[in-house]
Copies of this chain bind each other. A is one copy, B any other.
Amino acid sequence: MKPAVGQLRPDGSLRHLLTLEGLGRERIERLLEQAQRYVCEIGGVAPRRSTLAGVTVANLFTEPSTRTRVSFELAAKRLGAEVVNLEVQLSSRVKGESMLDTVYTLEALHVDVFVIRDAEAGVPGLVAAHVDPHVSVLSAGEGSVEHPTQGLLDALTIAQSKGRFDDLVVAIVGDIRHSRVARSAWHALAALGVKELRIVAPEGLMARPGEFPGCRRIDRLDEGVRDADVIMMLRIQKERMSHTSLPDSDRYFAEFGLDPRRLALARPDAIVMHPQPMNRGIEIASDVADGPQSVIRTQVRNGVAVRMAVLESVIAGRSAAS
């Protein structure tokens, strides 16, 4: 993967957000601070601004993801932007030039920000490389490559709970190999300087050799969560269990599901995270998902705040640059 230089404007401001790799500690911290200002307790009145008045945001989702789409949609609307949702059918679309023609069309309709979700790698970067200078592209999840706003919201959630990064042990658990969530969390947390980052997975779902440099690889859950400050569980796709020696849900849960017994191996104040949607009873027990150490709903709440901060940031930088 290449560093994030293609994401910045000549003046150094953030233009696109496709990856957290290479974004740098300072910029990530600034985004988290900006997001923190938009954090609102569940049940509170969602904050609204008009910093995106006159801006049009297009949600271009080729993979169904109601949650992430709504999170971006509400973030944009609460900043005063116009939002259009487009569900592009993968089957009726030819990649490459045809994809770009759709993008050029939307650009000519005065879309300022593209939020793109795609099951295949490469699409957000392809679009970012071709749009006009005033347009920004935000990845809302790209294949198994990156999900940068998820990485930011995970970092923000940890910052809120722990108040620091430098002495933390973070365990990311599950289907590391195919997880964009794991990759974005790793980029964010490595930049923010956590003490130890563990990737915990059964053989077959572990990262390939050479990936995740600097992380500690662990193939047993007990060892993986022991004394951890943060446990980030990943969603397991049922069809991928066959890649492991844990071919059904019960066996997967027995070996890699986070239950209260295993959570007790972590530090007493450890927090439990999950990007959702959860497979309860497969990768995580309901007792844990709904228990006092879970910050899973806090992650969702932080997601809107992070997306507001990112949208505001790319638009503010555009105005300054022009």
Chain A residues near B (Cβ < 8 Å): 40, 42-46, 48, 54, 56, 58, 64, 66-67, 70-71, 73-74, 77-78, 82, 84, 86, 88, 92, 97-98, 101-102, 104-110, 132-134, 276-278, 280, 286, 297-298, 300-301, 303-304
Write the nearest CB–CB distance from A190 to chain B, whole angstroms.
27
Could you say which residues of chain B place their CB within 8 Å of the CB of A106? 70
Do A277 and B108 have beta carbons less than 8 Å apart?
Answer: no
> A104's closest neighbor in chain B, by CB?
B297
So how many copies of this chain end up in the complex? 3
Do B102 and A67 have beta carbons less than 8 Å apart?
Answer: yes
Query: What are 8 A-B contacts with C-beta separation under 8 Å?
Result: A43-B132, A66-B86, A70-B86, A78-B82, A104-B297, A105-B276, A108-B297, A110-B304
Could you say which residues of chain B place their CB within 8 Å of the CB of A104? 297, 300
Do B74 and A109 have beta carbons less than 8 Å apart?
Answer: yes
Do A102 and B70 have beta carbons less than 8 Å apart?
Answer: no
Q: Give Cα distance in the complex from A152 to B247, angstroms.
A: 53
Q: Give Cα distance in the complex from A78 to B84, angstroms.
A: 12
Q: Give Cα distance in the complex from A145 to B98, angstroms.
A: 26
Q: Give Cα distance in the complex from A269 to B166, angstroms.
A: 64
Could you say which residues of chain B place their CB within 8 Å of the CB of A92? 64
Do B66 and A110 have beta carbons less than 8 Å apart?
Answer: no
Q: Give Cα distance in the complex from A306 to B102, angstroms.
A: 20
Could you say which residues of chain B place their CB within 8 Å of the CB of A301? 108-110
Do A109 and B71 have beta carbons less than 8 Å apart?
Answer: yes
Do A133 and B43 have beta carbons less than 8 Å apart?
Answer: yes
Select one of B42, B54, B56, B64 contacting A110, CB under 8 A: B42
Q: Give Cα distance in the complex from A277 to B109, angstroms.
A: 15
Q: Give Cα distance in the complex from A303 to B66, angstroms.
A: 28
Do A67 and B280 have beta carbons less than 8 Å apart?
Answer: no
Known: A43-B132, A66-B102, A300-B108. A82 touches B88 (CB 8 A): no
